[in-house]
A and B are shown apart, each in its own frame.
Chain A
Amino acid sequence: MANLSERAGLIEQIRVVSWLRWRILRNNMRNKNRLLDLLGLIFSGLFSAIFVAGITVALFVGTGRLLENGREQFLGLLFLGLLLWWQLFPILLAGFAPQFAFRSLLRFPLRMSAFYLIGLAYGLLDSAAIAALVWMLAMIAATAVAQPALAPVMLVVCVLFAGLNITMERLLGAWVEKLMAKRRSRELFFSLFILSMVSLQFLNPLMQRYGRALVPVARRWLPYLWLLPSSFAGDAVARAVEHQWGHAALKFAGLAGYVVLFTALLWLRYSSLYSGEELGETAAPARVEKRAATALPERKERLAFLPPQVGAIFRKELLYLKRNTFLFFGLVFPPMMLLFFSVQFTGAHPTTFKKGISPDVFFPGMMAYLVLILIAPSYNCFAYEGRGVQSYFTSPVRFREVLMAKNLTTVVILSSEIAFCIGLVGWRVGFPEAPVLFATLAAMVFSIVGQLTIANWSSLSFPRKIVFGKMQGQRNSGMSVFILLGVQLAFGGASALILFSGRLTGNAWLPAEIFSLLAAVSLAGYFPALNAFTDLAERKKEILIDALCR
């Protein structure tokens, strides 16, 4: 019989979990072996350090000034900023940073109390928490300088406020973890996130239009801020400054009440986890009634004009687009941005310029923007295939057909979006002169076909897997980004010069003629290139499979 080891002590377990967290962070850095990733890491580290240092100085100066100038009643606003940071930043980070499934620790012999305390300790090691603790230290230091007698009060308030934030953040984190564990809710979360980010663009125009009407509404809600824990923290210090110890004690009690409440709620949440709550995708499968096999609904064959393999991949691409909330909502983005730009730059009252841009400039600019945004995914067109990419190599199909089907999907999407946006431009700004209109349309054919040819090469040569419904580390390879930027710059620059040549020579139709010629050349080069890419795919298949099947 094997000898069982002694039960590990609580401190030792916390130490081991801290070590684990450090190793995860370190190993993630070690994987950054590519120069671009390393540079990104250095820049983000530098940026983070400057950001934290800047806020530290601001809070030190701000707290000191408030206390020196008798405006201590505004301390609550500083605590509100800390609260928002501490609670919201980790949630935003949950989508982007590598996550460790905290509940996986439950397979080890942990008592509930140990599990709870380790959870809190884990929360304290969060980057948002560390930054907030540094900022609170700055506030305590500022108090010690401005009003030394109050420093102990500020210290106690900060300790309580930190306790509140840790428990609240862990509680929110546990709920977010529950949300993110399910694929559908995870995707919905990201969709809402993307939509809210896009909607932020409209904040400025909306505020300009409705801002004044919102002021009385905001005033009506402001008094209720006293209910927030940050107000209790700020008021506790403010009352102590004024030597109103009774009121200060009440505010302390309020803040402590919050701490107790969130401690209890977190205990309940962790108890559920401890007792074996399952959060994964396969949790509690619903009982399904046995029923006769039903396949796809009967449909008329609409793609009979395509070779069957091209039709099959094209259909699959459309289904993937429909189910990829990230890409699907990405289609909403260009028309929304076009609307936004039309408000900013054109019309009788543009918000950016005094005089609106003419349709002759706005139309080609917007079309270039549309191509830029919508063609970008083609530079890593196998990103979402995952292990399915093996099917292309085991099926009796040449890569010529695979790429053709993928390009066809891109062209259909681009055409639909562009047609819709042309209508939108016509409605919002008006159409340009005929020579500019035709030159732009020909330029788009040249640019799309030319870029698709280069994008096919990029997709085969520098593939990178992107996981559905995940944002952490989900980006194209550095090389494909470089290629995309370089090609866009080259095409954009050349197109601008050609468009300008019309004005320079006084021949308004010259750009349309040049672009038509270029479009014909790029179309003529596209099909032979597909054959070359079939050979390239054969040579690159190991890279492709290795990158996408990880």
Chain B
Amino acid sequence: MPEIAIATEKLTRRFGALTAVDSVDLLVESGQFFGFLGPNGAGKSTTIKMLTGLLAPTSGRMSLLGIDFTEQPVEVKRQIGVVPEGMGLFERLTAPEYLEFVGRMYGLDKATTRKRGEELLEFMQLADRPKALIADYSHGMQKKLALAAAVIHGPRMLFLDEPFEGVDALAAGALKELLARMTERGVTIFLTSHVLEIVERLCSHVAIIKKGQLVAQGSIEQLRAGIASVEGRTLTLEDIFLSVVGQDADRAQLEELSWLT
């Protein structure tokens, strides 16, 4: 029986009258490259924040790698890596300083932190400006650094919120390869992205959230099988997503913009 990496049970988060995440039951197996999709405001970020300890759930349970998050948060955090929304960088540090900080926070010794930091900076093509402050980095460079920091301690699970946004094609290619190799070694990757082509290429399994509720979950093949194909064509993830989330409202709005088309 495969090991369960993420299991949530009726995970709910309310903000006043708004229920951002409504009784979500997620199940992610270890080693899966898992894509978490949904339209803007559907509850993706809220879910990922709860799973990474940045937000407390209103109700429900969640366990990561078989450990109850509420009971042993520090033990869970020790085993996961996170690229949060907004990246969570200390912008007044240089990249080597930041990686040293993060490595030490995860309890790595100084020599290991230094060695891994150097290798990661080289891999991410950030080794050229060791004295530049992170504040002076471009958005893409900051994203690469946030990714480097998320993996420096060799996590068993990785949470990535829009990891390739702003990253150049060359670096994105190398990163995707790195992530794919990590999953081969049994690391679970939980990723959100609005670029469905990336999710389709990388992820073996996806879940789709709409208005706070999980509306689909499974392997891409399973989801594809659940939807009628169009003119014998193989359905893309975009077809699946639009079918599940619905696009009628957008079409109707487009009709109103006839002066632009």
Contacts and interface: CB of A to CB of B under 8 A. Distances in A.
Interface in A309-348: 309, 311-313, 315-316, 319-320, 323-324
A387 B87 contact: yes
Interface string B84-121: 10111111110011011110111111100010011101
A282 B166 CA distance: 15
A293 B136 contact: no
Given A290-B128, A390-B84, A3 B97 contact: no
A396 interface: yes
Interface stretch (A11-19, A364-372, A541-549): A541-549
A196 interface: no
A546 to B, nearest CB: 10
B52 A394 contact: yes
A388 B53 contact: no
B92 A323 contact: yes
A300 B92 CA distance: 23
B121 A319 contact: no
Nearest to A282: B138
A391 interface: yes
B82 A295 contact: no
Interface in A374-395: 384-391, 393-395
A388 B90 contact: yes
A242 interface: no
A309 B109 CA distance: 11
A23 B201 CA distance: 47
A288 B108 CA distance: 31
A539 B89 CA distance: 23
A152 to B, nearest CB: 54
Contacts of B54: 390, 393-394, 541, 545
Nearest to A550: B86
Contacts of A289: 128
A468 B260 CA distance: 43
Nearest to B74: A396
Nearest to B119: A293
A460 to B, nearest CB: 15
A534 to B, nearest CB: 10
Nearest to B75: A396
Contacts of B135: 183, 281, 468
Interface in B40-81: 52-56, 74-75, 77-78, 80
B144 to A, nearest CB: 14
Nearest to A398: B74
Nearest to A182: B136
B50 to A, nearest CB: 11
A295 B114 contact: yes
Contacts of A301: 110
A292 interface: yes
B53 A394 contact: yes
Is the interface on chain B under 10, 10 to 19, 20 to 34, or 35 or more residues? 35 or more
A463 to B, nearest CB: 15
B136 A295 contact: no
A486 B82 CA distance: 40
Interface string A467-483: 01000000000000000
A517 interface: no
A2 interface: yes
A186 to B, nearest CB: 12
Nearest to B149: A391
Contacts of A398: 74
Given A296-B96, A388-B91, A311 B104 contact: yes
B92 A397 contact: no
Contact of A391 (B102, B114, B117, B119): B102
A294 B130 contact: yes
A346 B34 CA distance: 72
A393 B84 CA distance: 11
B56 A541 contact: yes
A320 B107 contact: no
B107 A319 contact: no
A296 B114 contact: yes
Nearest to A281: B136
Nearest to A296: B96
Interface in B186-209: none
Nearest to B84: A390
B121 A293 contact: yes
A293 B75 CA distance: 32
B127 interface: yes
5 contacts: A312-B105, A316-B101, A396-B75, A397-B77, A541-B55
Interface of A: 2-3, 183, 281-282, 288-296, 301, 308-309, 311-313, 315-316, 319-320, 323-324, 384-391, 393-398, 468, 538-539, 541-542, 545, 549
Given A308-B105, A395-B102, 5 more contacts: A3-B259, A293-B130, A294-B118, A390-B86, A398-B74
